[in-house]
Structures are given as structure tokens and as C-alpha cells.
Structure 1
Amino acid sequence: MVDGCADPLSGRFRSPPMIGRDAELAALLAAAGHPPSAVFVEGQAGVGKSRLVTEFAAAAARAGAPRVVMGSCQPLPEPFPYGVLLDCLSQCGDLLVEPGPVTGALRDHLPELADRLPPAPRILGDPGAERHRIFRAVRELLRSLGPIVLVLEDLQWADEKTRRVLRFVLADPPPDLAIVVTYRREELPAMGPLGHTFHRPHGVTQLDLALRPFGAADVRAMIDALVGATVTSRRFAEAVLHETAGIPFVIEGTVQALRDPMRDVRAEGDSARRVLEGIDVPASVADAIKERLGALTDAARTLTEAAAVLGVPETPEVLGVVAGEVTAAHLIASVESGVLVEEPANRYGFRYDLARRAVYASLPGPRRRELHERAFVALSALDHTPVARLSAHAKAAGRKAEWLRYSELAAKVAEDANDVSSAVDLLTEVLHDAETSPEVANRLATKLCDHALTGLPGGMMTARVESLLSDPRLAPDVRAQVHLWFGLLLQRETGSVERGAEEIALALGLLGDQPERTVRGMAAMAGPYLGSASIAEHQKSLDQVEGILDHLPTQASRTALLATTLGGRLIVGDPSTWGRISRLPSPSDVHDPEELHHLARAHCNLADACSWIGHYARAREFLRDGITLAKRVGSSYVVGTAEATAARLDWLGGRWQGLEQRLDSLIETYADLLLTTDLHLTRGWLAAARGEWVRAEEAFQAATGSHPTAQIFPVGISAAGGMAGMFLSRGKAAAAEEHVRHGVTMLRSKNAWVWSGDILPQAVDYYLAVGDVDAARLLVSETADGLRGVDAPLAQAGLAACRARLTAATNDHHEAGRLYREAIDLHWDLGLSYRATQLAEQAEGETLTDSAVLEALTQSYDSLGATVDAARCRHRARSTGTATPSPRGRRGYGSELSPREQDVARLLSGGHTNQEIAQALFLSRRTVEEYVVKVRRKLNVSSRHDVHL
């Protein structure tokens, strides 16, 4: 365990390593190393000044630099004269060398040094002269200490005598003295840390450091350090940044307040915000805010309370209505205290939301209600109507009628802005209120169900829809719809496939005389992605569903049905689908937003189906039209599915440039939606090709979802193939067995040979690796039978490759060569450049020694970014005595990373050991160790764990 992680036994956190201050530390060390010097470190409370000077002292000690002596000023009503200086000097008895006679003036002030100082001189009658002698004594004592660094913290709390003596010393400092001062500018009693009369002297090394709060990257790094693993999501770091304003002290308290840090920091999307909303304000933060409030007048404190209740920065006018009479002086006092800050457009609010929550939590209930009432009145008078805020204030003020009205309006605004999470929260709150009328409850329950499959995290939506089942206010037809959506959610979110089917069947029975309402449930029951029913059974169900197509009352409902059934037919390779597609309306003939949404869904579902069975050119055509339609109506979920399909198509087509960053961004953007399993699959493929074994395994596991029994079958089969292929490429056939068995079982259980393209080659390779040729032949034969009459170009190409592999295994090399050429051509025709290149290498056999062929293969792999494959070919070339060129040519890279160093750096950032990197890149461990040293030096990091790309 390293510093800065959670102790799994005690749950306590240790102080994390310093984050994001390397440049400041280097500058501080440099300035202190050139005495005489004066360094002034400015920063607000909690920003990390003390941490910086502590790290400075440790670094100085490691480097054998002069002694660092530290002292801190205290927030006392009447600070002790010279307090912090005397504290520091009292620690230096062992450094004293021939202190001059004038230092005796300090004998009574420094009892710890009394036996080492000259006798105290007689007391002068003139206070000014006595003060001057004290000042001279301090300077002389510092000179007699030799090389030394004084660190004086929190100088904003120092007494005026301390400031004056520091000004005196720095006007003519001892040659070996360095002074480092930290302070909070907002709490200084004068213009600067030493007062407005201080002028920087010549000949003194001077440095001013201003520590700023962290940005998102440093927030993320600090959270990782606190939990002891690189696991924090970008969305969670951004949410913490919003809550804490990037102040390290507050970040640390926030992470320590998490209920399950290792799980919580991984939260994506809206769930990141929800995690932070669920924690209590850390006691350390509450105490710090309480201390600042205590220094305010009653009127200024009332102003901060109003700001806490308002929730967001507001104008002085609005603050005045809520708080009562507000003067400029009150605002100034609140800002100068650091409690409030001025925002753009003359608005005032809290620096970070946890501070606001701390103030809000300190208010007694009646006081909160009174301020919410005033806030409702103030916001109601604005020219624009902030309906969501009015809803919240009306509820807190006990205005039930206004709360219901504004909640429904706010939900509509959120829906229009595609903020489904907020809309669902608002609708659920109103539905759970016992005083909501049956009319409103039925209307809002229907709206809530419309948002059912938007994928809110953690089964949240399932629980909310389930709670409606026992609501006595719901009419029978609305209750039937609730059963329908509850069943769909059970299957999609919780993995309860069979129970979900029961709920859907119940709903269909209740809605039997309303076909337009049963369409979605019937189509979902017929969909081939989930459940244990075979593909043939799903096709029968699709026929039954389409039987009601002409009986539907509207074109929109017919388009909605086709949007599901056409994709369902095509993804199982039904060739009749191409003729049925003509039943979709032309985009130019559709103007209704709801129908446009379903038409967009139809095109994107068809694109997805094409991408799974191997019609890649058609997939891109459907995708282009689907995205255009989805953007017309602002359908973010449909756009999300399209982007997931596009990413998979780019992987398959060898367009990998920037794909990793795109996948990471999409996974975070759509974290709360069901489509992320598809994105994780693509990320797993890409990581495996680049030798990032840990990341690949995590991605493939994520692709199966939280409930493997309810996984999307094509994704689950492909993930099993990806895992098996990754282990086989590393010579780990035993580890591949489980995944081959799982993937093949899925194929056989649903008779889903149409989806065999991403598991069949790996399964055959596994069987041949363990010498089970009969199992390989049986699987190839089953696949060939299962693909008869099925439109599945990818599966057919994979089958051709397996036939070639089997033939080569029986030593019929001439026939194997012909079959390989056929399989390679099929893959090139589909645009599968990576798989075609792998087959070309495989066709050459294990004894490939032709340097020209190896060089061509290496360059092909390098052009794709297939790190492992390119490294394997280079290794084979080296074994023949031939060197293959670098993808960017031989040249010096200076301080830049070479292509091989980039590969090593990327694997280091993924947490791989030297042995794992050596295996991935086909290098010796000693060579990898040399690369690691070069990478660390070029990236200027002290540890392999600090390498991030």
C-alpha cells in the first residue's frame, strides 16, 4: 500500500502524495538554494500551502540542504509579540556559533537558548531603542546560525512586531538565510504579507508563488492517490471539482466521506453527481465554514444564509429580498471573509457547493422554511421563470399547489433539454406525494414510463417504476403500461429475464384490445437479443408481431413497430428483411417529431444489425440517415446507439486513429445508458491489439454487463471471443478454455450461428492448440449447417478462415493455401483490414522467415496501431537476423518518446509489469527496463506509477 490510499481494514486514509505542485516545489527549492532569499507563498485556506512547504522541507533534507526550521502563526485575538519567530529560533540551539553580544537581548525571550546566549544587556529607557536592539538581536542570531531556512506559516495571523522585524531583517539579511512565508491574501490586515511599507531589497533572491485550486486532471489524480488506485472516472472528478472548487483540503474531506470509495469514484454520468449529493458535509469542512461565519456580523451572516438557500449565485437585489436589507458593506464583508465570492454578471455565491451545504445544514428548520418562502417570492418576480428552482423552493416552503405546478413544468423543460435524469427526479417526487390527484398521477406515471429505457444507473429506474405498481390512483390501462415497462426494465437492468417476460405477458393481456399500446411489449418479447429462446422462436414471434402492423391506427405507431422488428429480423440474418425495409416511410414524408424519432431509431437499428452480420457499407448508409434524423428531433439515446455502432465499425474497418479517446469519451457520456456494453467490447478489442491486457480484460468483462444472464447475445459472444483470442495470443490456452466454452454454449443455446464470426476462429484455434481436431471439425460443421439460408457475410468469412486453418492442421498445404486466399479475399471485400492481415500472417505458417513478407506484415500492423502483432513480426524478423524498420523511420527523438517508448509508456500507464510489457512487445525484460528508464526521464516522473498517457 502506498501513501494516500484507503486502508482496507480500518477504512482510514493516509495523507496522499503531493499532487500538481511539482513546478512550485522546484521553484521553491531553487530560490531557497540561492540565499539570501525571500519566498512568499500565497493561497486560500486549504489550497495546499502547508503541504508544499512540508514537501519542501523533506526534499531539502534528502538533498542535504541547509536546515529547514518551521513555525506557524495562530489565529489568536491578540497574537504573541514575535511569536512565530521565537518558536523557530528556540529550535536552533545546536546551530549557534559565536552569537554576538547584541543577541543577549533575546535571552529572556528564548529560555531554551539562555545558556548559549551572552548576558542580557541593561534595559534601555527608550521603547524605540529597545525595539531596535531586539530587531538587531534577531538578525545577529540568524547570522550566527549559519545556513538556514525559516518557514513561517499563516503570516496573516502574525502580530505587527513580527512583520516589522521581518522587514528589518530582509532589508539587510544574513548571507546564508532563506525565509519562506505562507499567507492568505484575503485575511491580511495590510497590503502585503509584511505590510504595505515593505520594499523588496536588491541582492535578495525573491520569489512569489500563488497556489491555485486544482483543475479536473489534478483532482482526478488526487482522488486516485487517496483511494490507492487509478480508478477515478473523469465524470466523478469533474463532479468533485464542482463540489470543492478544486481545493485539496476539501477534496480530501469529500473522498473520506464516501461510503464505498473504491466503487463510488468509478461512478460515471449523472450517478457521479448523485454519489456526492448522498454524502454528509465532512466535519472538517463544516468546522472551517463555521469558523469563518463566526467572524461575520449578524447582517453579513444572514446574507450568507440567504445565499445558501438560493443555491446558485444571485444578484444583490435577489439576495436582498431573501435576506432583508443588504448593503454593500455586508457583501464586502462576506466576500473578504472568503465565505462568498463574486461571480460574473454581478452575482454572489459560495466558492464551492460543500460550503453552501454546510451553511444550509446549520440552519434550524423554521429558519430554512422562512428563507425558502422569501426565495420563492423573489424568484417569482423575475422576468424569466426559473421553474426548477421555483419547484424546489415551493416544496421547501410548504406551498403544495405551486410545487406540483412548477414540478411538472420543470420536468417538461428538462425533457426538452434531454436532461432525462432531472425530469425523472421531478416526476417521481410528485408521484410519491399522497396529495397528488389521480388525474395528475396517471398523466405523470405515463410520462415516467416514457423515460423507462433511458438507463438511469443502479436499477434506479426499475425501482421507481415498480413503486407505481401498488399505486391505487392509477387507472387499469395506465397500470398495464407500468407492468409493461417494469418487465422491460427487469430484463435490461436487473437481469431478471424470466420475471420480466411474465410482467410483459401480463401487460399484453391487460392491453389486448389496444394494439397500439401493446406494440412495444410484443416487439420486445420478439427481440432476439435477450432470453433463452432460439433464433427460430424469435422469428416466429416477429411474424406474429408484424401481423398486427396493418391494424395499427397511425403511421407513427407502424413506424415504431418497424423500428424494432426490422432490426430484429436483419440481425439474425433474415434475407427477407431487405424487401420489408421499403415499408418504412421516406424521411421527407415525416414531420411528426415522435414518428421522426422512431424513423431515426429504425435506421440506427438497421445500421447496428448490418454491423453485426457483416454488411458494413450498408451499415454506414443507415447510420448516416439515422443520425441526421435523430439530431433533428434531439433524440440523444438514438444518437448514442449510433455513435456506439460507428465506433465498432471504425474498429472493424481499421480506422483506429483517435478511437481510444473517442471510446473513453462515449463511455463517460453515455455511462447511464444500456449501450455502453457495445462500447466496452470495442475498447476491449482495441486494448488487446495494443497489448493492454489489464484494460482489455476489464473492458471485455464490462461488455457482458452486470447481469451476464441478461447480456446482449451478440456482445456477449464477441466478448468471449475477444477474451479467448487475447489469451491464445499469449500462449495461454488453458485460460482461453472457459471463454471458448462460454461463447460456443451461447451460440448453440440460441442456434445463433449468424453471430459466430467473432468466436468461431478463436474456438477453432483453441481446439487445435490443445490437439482436439475433432471438436474443431464438429464446430465448423455445425456452423456451416446453421448458416444455410442466412444472410451473414461476417460469419461466412470466419467460417472460410476456419476451414483453411483446419486444412492446414492436416498438412494439406496446397488446399490450405487456396482456402486461406479465399478467406483473406472475403475479409478484404468486407473491409476487415486487421483480420485480413492476421490471416495473411497465419497463412504463411509458423516457419515464416521471408524478411520481405515480415516487413510488409509489420508495416501493415503498424499502420493500424496493432502493437502486439507488429511486435510479434519484428521478433520473428529478429530471429532470422533481419531488422524491421520503425514505423516512423530511424531518427533521433530527443526529448520526445520514440514509437517503441510510446508503446512502453502506454502499457506502463495501464499498470502493466515489466514482464507483461516484455511479453506484449516481444522484448527481453532487460530491454524493457531500459525503455522504462528512458520513458521516466523524458516524461520527468519519479516513478513508473506516475506515467500517464
Structure 2
Amino acid sequence: MGRGPELEILGGALRRRPAVIMVEGEAGIGKSRLLRETAAAEAARGSRTLMTACHPLRAPFPFGPVLDALRRTGDWLPPPDELNPVTGELLPLLPELTGHLPMPSAGAADPRTERVWCMQAVRALLEAAGPVTLMVEDLQWADEATRDLLLMLARDPPNGLALVLTYRRDKRRRGVPVLGTAYRRPPGISGAEIQLKPLTESDMQQMATAALGPRATPRLVRVLFERSAGLPLVAEEDLITLYERGRSSALFNGAPSDDDDVAGLESSEVPRGLREAVSERVAGLSEAGMAVVQAAAVLAVPAPEALLAEVADLDPEKGTQGLLESLRSAVLIESSPTLYGFRHALDQQAVYRGTVGPRRLELHRRAIKALWAQNIPPLVEIAHHTRALGDRQAWLEQAHAASDQAIALGDEGTAAGILREMLAERSLDPQLRSRAALDLSRIAVNSVDYAATVTALRQIVADPQLHPATRGEIRLNLGLLMYNQATDPYGLHEVEQAVTELEQQRPELAARAMAALAVREGDEPVAEALAWLERAERIMAVSGSRGARAAVHASRISLDAYLGDPEVWQRLDALPRDDDDLEVVRQTARALYNAAEGALLVGHDERAAALLGDCGRLARRVGSLLLDCYSRSTLLVHAYLAGEWAGLEEKYSALRTEFPDMPFLETQRALVCGRLAAARGQLARATEEFTSVAESWSKRGGVYMCITLTGLARARLTDGDAEAAWSVTASARHVVRQKQAWVWAVNLLPVSVEAAVTCGRHREAVELTDEMERGLAGRDAPAAVAELHLCRGILRREADPAAAAEHFDQAAAIYRSIGRPYEEAGAVESTAHVLTGTDPGRAASGLTAAADLYARLGAAFDAARCQERLRALGLSRPSARGRPGYGDALSPREHEVAQLLARGASNKEIAQALFLSPRTVEHHVAHTLTKLGVKSRDAVRGALDRKSREPRTPVNER
């Protein structure tokens, strides 16, 4: 009742797949009822639906709720040999699907890698079982792994999947997104955001009339409404009580009067509470039924029949009798096959609070005994029951053991929650406090609950009783967490302070902190970074730790590669790649990645690709998901620079699905996609992508901030606002000057010099170029040298066009040797521009060559600009044989329009990209849709994909 609009919205969203629907509402508001009614409607239509729920107390079993749902998919799957082989990774977790899934692989090297494989397997299984609707309730209680899995599915659902997620806001996790990180539905995925509100009094009237008929008087409805405050669950419980009371009364005295119904409700001890309503229904249970219900309330999570009977202290026969009775009375439900619990958390709380204290304690003791007897004792649950007994010391010991178990199973989110609870104990034993804080700090890098973890660690490091070396390690991990996850510069201050606390008693750890400070982003001078490294190297000279020495050596190589040191490549070749010490191999992989990133910055692109390949192989060997992700993402950056643009956005989307919580991956994706959008003339989208990076890196600075601001400045130049472009790059120029890191001022200097010259700042442009030339002395940075030639060409194009053309030609040749066709085309175009007045023939050849290069890349905006320039100068040559006829095939111009439509460009963006009038664009769009046989712009991409698979036929010219 009262949920007609929500049912319509939810049902409509399910008919447009893939879909992600979020349903928010407080406890008892009717989320479960909405899903049950929707599932019934879907079943009537023959659709497949899986329902599952998260629970507030669970053992560390990653993906548990989703796996519970997948156990019921066997009959929907094709034969195992037709399934994606990765689905076999689920077989050990889903033995019920034996015979339905392929055999699993040998297994992953570590729990985190295995977790990623399982996530991929779940997606593949849902795709094979589809179309299917997966409904997950109470997402606020999901473990970290389940949140990661659902976030991946929400970002990249299989085509036939509809994902319905219900949750309520948890006041204790205020500000933390329900999926662990902010989520916005990607393009092409439908869905809805449904927020359930309390029922109105009118809704309550309909609900009461449906349950009680004519007994639902306005007076009774008013009492129901006031008691429930519009919560359907509370009203439902009251209506069940009234219905049962009326049925009993009818047997002896006839139907109760309105006064009797109102008096019965008003006489309840807690008018608005649920506890009395639930207690009234439980009161009719036998002793065995009551014992089972109380055992379920104490266990707090769905449990099998045998465990319920054991905790209730019943023999198997009595246990079965009590369970059947509780199920018939609807006090308990079968929440998943052979597991029994309460329909709602409020029911569980009502029964638990209504159980007298001595009985509760007895049940908790029996629960501990029964859980310890299991093959793998669920230590999280045991710790919960120990705490409920009031044995604080025993709880702390069990809690720490539970956190160890969770870490070993790869469920670091559960471990972090337990450790934070322990650290909240004011009188915690100092030794145990230190151990718990160290454990929390060591896993903090993977924590989703950033704010809570930082708060807990800050409180710990402020404890004056903490041992200095322990405080130093915790502070180091805290600082790295703050800097790496939140780009908080204060994190670096914590790392520096950790050096002071660690240097005397933990010198090797202090050296690692120094090495981290040496390769940080920001505007610190290179001399400061070198000083940190030299301190770390002095400590490592007498260290026996090969892993620590490897970490410092990796930082040295990383810094030298970023600065264009010509000798770094030999040292890279000498790094151990097959060492037996995995920590040494991990540090080698880190050095290879950083050096590859440096190589891309300075212009050694082929070497960078080889280093990234080596890094990826080593990362997979040591189980480093971070480096595996980073190396694959940066290979896509290399592909962009090499002009391999086809499918780049899709490849980033797939990688983001595989690694949903890697902010750096999102940074690289936004920068590449922003530059692609700019090349296609989609300046609004490009600006949006660059701005998103600028906002997230504003505090951090460094090379990615420079790349971002350069992209924004180039967009301003394209719009004709040179003053804004000069202003945008001011902070980036400051960083480069401060660090004296001219080798990685990627495209910054040519854009800055162009802006300066255009808005009359010629002297500043000359000074900037001279500074760059001095800064490149002795450095191996071919890309920076090419950019220096571009700057010299810009400065001389008015006074000496021939000299400027020579500089642009030098830049084009360098870019050609590096393997960067887009930059090469830009330099060729610049040469043509300066020669239009003195050598129009060569200018025409240059503009034609640049346009061809741009067109092959897919840079429609740049290609159209060259063609427009040719026409404006009267340099284009008409075809002697007339214009070709294309019939039903797309003309080259229509193909350009189709490509832009497929990427979501508006008519205005197409006009800007191709230098066309709005009316001409409308004409081309209409012809393109007709030739592709589609009615909407949204269908263009699919039509192009289909055409690309058709055999090509020659075009006849007339």
C-alpha cells in the first residue's frame, strides 16, 4: 500500500537492462516488501530473480551474500565447456554447482589476487545465467569485499543484469558512500534512485482496510498511524496482532468493537515500539519454539537448524519442533537454504531485548561453545558473544584473533572494523593496544573507511605512553595513507615526523620513509629529494635487510629516471628480476614501473613499453594488484602516445571494472580521454575530464597536475582566450621552476609560450624558453628537446619564418623517432602555417600531410582545422574526376559525423569539431542516421560496429 509509484519506477527500470536501482530507506520502511512484490511480478513474467541479504554480524567470508544467491543458478547455466573458464574459480565456494561449472585453476598467489579472480568469475556467471535480476538487501552491512564486487557490477553490469540494492543510512558511517566509493551510473546503464518515505495516514487507511475490512475505522487508523510513525513494518506488526485478536474473539464473543481495538493498542506499554508487537506473537510459542527464537536472536545471523538447537539446549527432535513452530508463526524465516533467522533486524532486536538477562548470558555461553566446535571457528562471532558476556579481557583476546583470521582470509575491511573497536577501549592493555594499532596501520592502505581509520590512528599516535618506535611505524603508515588515498599534503608531514621517531631504533624503516619522501609529488626542489635519498642510502650501507636496501635503491632509480639521467638505463638492466626474496622482486617491480613512467615523460617510449611489460609480469608473480593495475593502465597511455587510439576508452572501462578502487587509474583514464576528446573537438567533455583531475590533485601538485593544467590551457587557447591559458598554467610553471624538473613539463612549455606570445608577453616567453634550455643540459630527454624546438619556433615565426620552420621540422623529426604521431602532426602543421606567406606549395603539402596524419588517428577536429586552413588560403586542389558518389555508403564527412555521434557528441560539438555550420551538421546527421538504418543517435555506435564487420565493397566514381 502506498508504494504504487515506487513499484512502477522499479518495474520500469527492470525492463531497460542493464540497470542499477538503488533503494534507500530507514529500517521498517518497506524496502523488503517492495522487493518481494517486484520479484513476484517478475516471476509472473517468467523472469529470473535472485534475492539475498547482508547481515550485521558475519564471519570474514568475502562475497558471502552474492555467493548465497548464486547457489540457485545451476539450472540456468549452459554446459560447463560453454562457460567462461574463469567461472571455475567459484567452484570451491559453490560446491552446489558441481557439474555446472568448469574446474578451477591452480589458484592465485595471494588472497587479493584470488579476490579479483572471484569478482571476474561472478560477473561471468551472472552473464551466463542472464537475463537475471540480482536483489541485495541491507547493503549498509555488506563487508568490504562484497561492496567491491557490487561496485564492479554496478559500473560494468552484463547486458542482461538488473542490480537492485537496498540500504539504509548508517549514522556511524556518515559520509561513507554505501558502495565504499562514490557511484554514478555510467552512460548506457539505466536505473533509478528510489527513496522510500514513511506512509501517509491515507496510505495507512488503505493498508488497515485491506487487513481488517470494516474494522479499520478512522479512529483506529489514527492510532495505528501515531504508533507506527508511518513505518509499514511497525504498522504491519500491529495489524497482525489486531487480526489474530479479532479471529480469537470471533470464536467466543464476536468481532471486537472499535473501542476494543483502540484500547488494545493504546494499552500497549510502548505505543510506538515494535517490541511488544513481536513479543505478543512470540508469547504463543511452546517452550521449544521460544528457545529456538531466543537462540536465533542471540546468534544474530542466520544459522542452521543444528546450531539453533544446540544453542537453545534442545535435543534434535525438540529443536526441529521448535524451529517448525517458529517458522509457522512467521517469527523466523528461511533466509537462505537451510539457514534460519529473522525477517527484519528490528524483530531480532525486539526478541533479544525481551529475553531476560540470565537467559541471554546462558545463550551467549552456549553459542561460544558451539561455535568453537566448528571445523573453522568463526572468530568474529565468537568475539561478539564474548563481549556480550561482559568479559572484556577475553573479548579483546578473541577480537585480536578474529582480526588476524580476517587478515589471513583477505578480508581486511572486517579486520579494520574489529581493530578500531579494540582501540576505542580506553583502558586497553598498552601492549595489546600497540599490536592492534600496528596491525590497523599496516592494512590501512586497503581500507575503504578512510576517515574512521585516520581518526583511530591519529588518536593512537597522540598517546604519550606509546613506544617511540611503535609510534613511528604507525605514523609512517598513517602519513602514507593520508597522502596516497586522500592526496593530503599533511600526510608528508607525518612521514617526516616518523623519520625522527624511527631513525635511532628502527633505522631501516626510517630509510624507507626517507625514500618515500624523495619521490613524492609536489614542488619541493630536486636537491631536497636527493638529500633524503642520500640519508637513506647511508643507513642502508650498513643494513642487513635486502628488502629495505632494494626499496631505497628502487627510489633512487625512480628519481633518476624522472630526471632524465642518461645512466639510469644500465642500472635498470641490472636489477634482480628472478630473486628468491619476494620483497626484493616487489621493489624491482616498483622501480621498473616508476622508471617506465619516467621514460614516457622524457620520450623513451619503446623502452617504457618494455619496462611496463616486465613490471606487469613481476607484479603478478608477487601478487601486487596495485602494480599490475598501474602497469596495464600506463601501457594504455603509451598506446595513446603511439597513436593507437581505437578502443582506448573501452579498454580503460574494462580495466576500471577489474580494478574499481584505484584513484590513479581514474586519473590516467581522465587525462587520456580528455586529450582524445580535445582532438575530436569535444572541448566541453575534455574540460570536464581535465577539471576532475585538477580537483583531485589540487593539493598534491606534481607531474599529473602539470599535464592536467596543460590540457585545460590548450582548451582555452582553442577557444581564443590566451590570457586565461597563461593564467591556468601559472601554478604548473611554478612547480617546474621550483623542482627544476624541466624534463617532465609535458607539453607545458609550448602551450605556455604560445599563450604568452599571443597575449603580448614576449619577454616572459623568451625567459621561460631560456630557462628550459638551461634545465635540459646534461639530461636525456628527447621529448623535452622536441618541445624546446617548438618553443623556439613559436618565438621566431613572426620575425624569421624560415628559422621557425626549421625548429618545427626538428621537433617533427624527434617526435617521429620517438613514435608520437599526434605530436608529429602538430609540428608538421606548425611548419605549414609559418610558410603560407613565403612557400605556399610547401605549406599546402604540409597541411595536407598533417590532415592525413590527424585523420588516420581519428583526430577529426585537428584534421578539419587543416582542411579549413587549406580552403581559406585557396591552397586546396579539387579532384579532376569530380566528386565521388557514395550511394548508401557513408561519405568521409558522414563517417566523421558518425564517429562523433557514437562518442556522444552534440550537434554543437560536431559543428565545432568539423568547422561546419549548425544547419550543415543537421543535414549530415540526418543523412548519417538514414544510411546507418537507425532512428536515434544512441544507436549509431552499434550500427558502426555492425558495419565494421561487413565485407567492404568498392565505391564507384562518376
TM-score range, shorter chain: 0.5 to 0.7
1:468 CA displacement: 0.9
**Which of the residues 733, 758, 770 maps onto 1:769?**
758
Partner of 1:515: 507
Match of residue 28 from structure 1: none
Matched to 1:553, the amino acid is G
| CA shift in 2, pair 1:392/1:681, >3 Å | farther
Tell me the residue number matched to 2:243.
none
Partner residue in 1 for 2:808: 820
- Alignment of 1:748 with 2:664, yes or no, is no
Which segment is superposed worse, 287-296 or 722-731? 287-296
Deviation at 1:518, TM superposition (A): 0.8
Shift of the alpha carbon at 1:875? 4.9
CA deviations 1:874-906 (Å, max 9, x no partner) are 5557776779999xx985479xx9662341242
The answer to whether the aligner puts 1:710 opposite 2:623 as a matched pair is no
- Alignment equivalent of 1:907, drawn from 904, 908, 922: 904
Q: Distance in 2 between matches of 1:550 and 1:516?
A: 10
Structure 1 pair 43/372, CA: closer, same or farther in 2 (3 Å)?
same
Q: Secondary structure at the match of 1:638?
A: helix
Secondary structure in 1 matching 2:544: coil
Q: Specify the alignment match of 1:206 in structure 2.
A: none
Alpha-carbon distance between aligned partners in 2 of 1:442 and 1:257, rounded to the nearest angstrom: 28
* Preserved CA contact (<8 Å) 2:514 2:536: yes
Partner Cα separation in structure 2 for residue 455 and residue 791 of structure 1? 40
- Contact preservation (8 Å) 2:902, 2:940: no
Q: How does 1:208-607 map to 2 (within 5 A)?
A: 235=151, 238=154, 264=177, 268=181, 287-289=231-233, 298=282, 315-318=304-307, 321=310, 327=320, 343=336, 356-357=344-345, 359-360=347-348, 364-365=352-353, 376-392=368-384, 394-395=386-387, 400=392, 403-416=395-408, 418-434=410-426, 436-454=428-446, 456=448, 458-471=450-463, 474-492=466-484, 497=489, 500-501=492-493, 504-505=496-497, 507-509=499-501, 511-530=503-522, 532-578=523-569, 580-581=571-572, 584=575, 586-588=576-578, 590-607=579-596
How far apart are residue 863 of structure 1 and its match?
3.8
In 2, the alpha carbon distance for the partners of 1:365 and 1:336 equals 20
* Alignment correspondent of 2:676: 686
Structure 2 counterpart of 1:918 = 911
SS at match of 1:801: helix
Counterpart of 1:781 (choices 764, 770, 776) is: 770
- Residues 658, 777 of structure 1: CA spacing in aligned structure 2 closer, same or farther, 3 A cutoff? same
1:652, distance to aligned residue in structure 2 (A):
1.9
Matches within 5 A, 1:795-834: 795-813=784-802, 815-834=803-822
Deviations 1:842-882 (A, max 9, x none): 32228689888666545533443434334434555777677
Query: 2:878, 2:690 → 1: CA distance?
Result: 34
For structure 2, the 5+ residue unaligned runs are 18-33, 46-129, 140-147, 186-193, 200-227, 241-277, 944-958
Deviation (angstroms), 1:522 = 1.5
SS at match of 2:661: coil
Match of 1:842 in 2: 830
Alpha-carbon distance in structure 2 between the residues aligned to 1:752 and 1:216: 52
Q: Deviations over 1:60-90 (max 9, x none)?
A: xxxxxxxxxxxxxxxxxxxxxxxxxxxxxxx
Q: Is the 8 A contact 2:601 2:744 kept in 1?
A: yes
Distance 1:358 1:346 in 2: 22
Q: 1:845 to 1:716 in 2, by over 3 A?
A: same
Q: Does the aligned pair in 2 maintain the 1:216–1:238 contact within 8 Å?
A: no
Which AA in structure 2 matches 1:736? A
CA 1:363/1:743 → structure 2, altered by over 3 Å: closer, same or farther? farther
Residue 898 of structure 2 contacts residue 940 of structure 2 at CA under 8 Å; is this kept in 1?
Answer: no
Decide whether aligned partners of structure 1 residues 380 and 622 sit closer, same or farther in structure 2, where only a CA change above 3 A counts: same
Mapped contact 2:757–2:765 kept (Cα < 8 A): yes
C-alpha spacing 1:810/1:280, structure 2 compared with 1 (3 Å) = same
Q: Distance in 1 between matches of 2:623 and 2:156?
A: 29
User: SS of the counterpart of 2:828?
Assistant: helix
Deviation at 1:784, TM superposition (A): 0.4
Deviation at 1:460, TM superposition (A): 4.6
Partners of 1:647 and 1:675 in 2: how far apart?
Answer: 11
* 1:781 positional shift: 1.1
Equivalences for residues 627-642 of structure 1 within 5 A = 627-642=616-631
Q: 1:891 to 1:508 in 2, by over 3 A?
A: farther
1:524/1:914 CA distance change after superposition, 3 Å: same
Q: TM-score with structure 2 length normalisation?
A: 0.63
Shift in Å, 1:716: 0.9
User: Mean alpha-carbon deviation: is it higher for 729-738 or for 452-461?
Assistant: 452-461
| Match among 700, 706, 715 for residue 690 of structure 2 | 700
What is the Cα deviation at residue 670 of structure 1?
5.0
- Cα deviation for residue 803 of structure 1 reads 2.2
The CA distance in 1 between the partners of 2:8 and 2:509, in whole Å, is: 58
Q: Offset at 1:783?
A: 0.4
Task: Kindly state the Cα deviation for residue 479 of structure 1 after the two structures are TM-superposed.
Answer: 1.5
How many Å apart are 1:571 and its aligned residue? 1.1
Larger gyration radius, structure 1 or structure 2:
1
Give how far 1:604 is off: 2.1
Amino acid at match of 2:903: R
* Deviation sequence 1:326-364 (CA, Å, 0-9, x none): 659967996998995665x655679xxxx7555556555
Aligned length: 724
| 1:515 counterpart letter in structure 2 | P
Q: What CA deviation, in whole Å up to 9, does each residue of 1:170-194 have, x standing for no partner? A: xxxxxxxxxxxxxxxxxxxxxxxxx
User: Which of the pair has the greater relative contact order for Cα pairs under 8 Å at 6+ separation?
Assistant: 2
1:662 aligns with 2:651: yes
- Tell me the alpha carbon deviations over residues 721-773 of structure 1, each in whole angstroms, 9 at most, x when there is no partner: 11111222343434423222222222222222122233112112222332433
2:636–2:648 contact (8 Å) kept in structure 1: yes
1:259–1:505 CA distance, 2 compared to 1 (3 A): closer
Provide the secondary structure at the position in 1 that maps to 2:745: helix
Q: Given that residues 831 and 846 in structure 2 are in contact (C-alpha distance below 8 angstroms), is that contact kept between their aligned partners in structure 1?
A: no
- How many Å separate the matches in 1 of 2:662 and 2:367? 33
CA contact (8 A) 1:560 1:598 kept: yes
Identity across the alignment (%): 26
Q: Which runs of 5+ in 1 are unaligned?
A: 1-11, 25-41, 54-210, 221-231, 273-278
Query: Post-superposition shift, 1:795?
Result: 1.4
Aligned partners of 2:633 and 2:665 also within 8 Å: yes
> Residue type matched to 2:542 in 1?
H
Deviation at 1:235, TM superposition (A): 2.3
Question: In the aligned structure 2, how far is the partner of 1:943 from the partner of 1:310?
Answer: 55
Distance across 1 between alignment mates of 2:383 and 2:156: 26
Q: Name the CA shift for 1:329/1:17 in 2 (closer, same or farther; >3 Å).
A: closer
